């Protein structure tokens, strides 16, 4: 999945002729805290709520001192690159440029989360396992063999770790909700299963996190 496919259909950028007051209204309507400022198809920078409040809200945003940093992605960038850039810059939207550096749209954090859920098969029926292991013990091939021996398929996987930690955490989305046999098999082979979640458990957790995110965006 690439950035071009993630562009929001409802959220629009700020233009240099918009006032600070209009900018705040748009951010509130779109439930975001950042919006790009464009002049025709040229990206001029990113404006936050804090930036607006530090200036005269009755002035046009084109008169504000805009910060232009590498806070954008290109239309052909992969979903993971979009995640990386928006994570580094900690913004609620990210502009998308084409191959000629022209502004073509933006992606909101809400759009990104929905795409990530679809991309990682979390919308598919099944259960979730979380394993922890030393980096040198990580072998997706072996884990796949053990899981498939129990007539279960891995729909998606995600590896995460803390910086400088010797351990990794592997999250598996499986096509079955009854995970007892898979957990037992992995344990027999020495894998530490930190947790298992049914579809309902995961849906409840995802909904709770989504609600918290929406509350944050509405602050």
Residue 219 has pLDDT above 50, yes or no: no
Q: Does domain 3-117 have CATH number 3.10.580.10?
A: yes
User: What class, spelled out in words, does domain 124-207 have in CATH?
Assistant: alpha beta
Alpha-carbon distance of 195 to 183, in angstroms, equals: 9
Q: What is the pLDDT of residue 69?
A: 67
pLDDT tens for 88-118 read 888 999 999 999 999 999 999 988 888 877 7
In the chain, where does the domain assigned CATH 3.10.580.10 lie?
3-117
Q: CATH 3.30.70.260 in the chain, residues?
A: 124-207
């Amino acid at each position: 999945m690439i950035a071009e496919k993630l562009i929001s259909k409802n959220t629009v950028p700020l233009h240099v002729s918009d006032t600070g007051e209009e900018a705040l209204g748009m951010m509130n309507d779109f439930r975001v805290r950042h919006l790009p400022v464009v002049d025709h198809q040229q990206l001029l920078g990113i404006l936050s709520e804090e930036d607006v409040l530090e200036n005269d809200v009755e002035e046009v945003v084109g008169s504000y001192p805009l910060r232009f940093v590498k806070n954008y992605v290109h239309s052909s960038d992969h979903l993971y690159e979009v995640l990386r850039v928006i994570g580094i810059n900690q913004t609620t939207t990210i502009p998308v440029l084409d191959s000629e550096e022209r502004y073509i749209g933006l992606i909101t954090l809400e759009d990104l989360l929905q795409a990530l859920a679809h991309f990682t098969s979390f919308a598919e029926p099944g259960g979730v396992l979380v394993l922890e292991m030393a980096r040198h013990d990580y072998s997706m091939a072996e884990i796949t063999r053990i899981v498939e021996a129990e007539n279960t398929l891995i729909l998606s996987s995600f590896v995460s770790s803390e910086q400088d930690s010797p351990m990794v955490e592997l999250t598996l989305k499986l096509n079955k909700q009854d995970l007892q046999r898979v957990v037992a098999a992995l344990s027999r082979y020495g894998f530490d299963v930190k947790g298992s979640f049914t579809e309902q458990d995961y849906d409840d957790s995802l909904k709770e996190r989504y609600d918290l995110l929406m509350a944050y965006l509405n602050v």
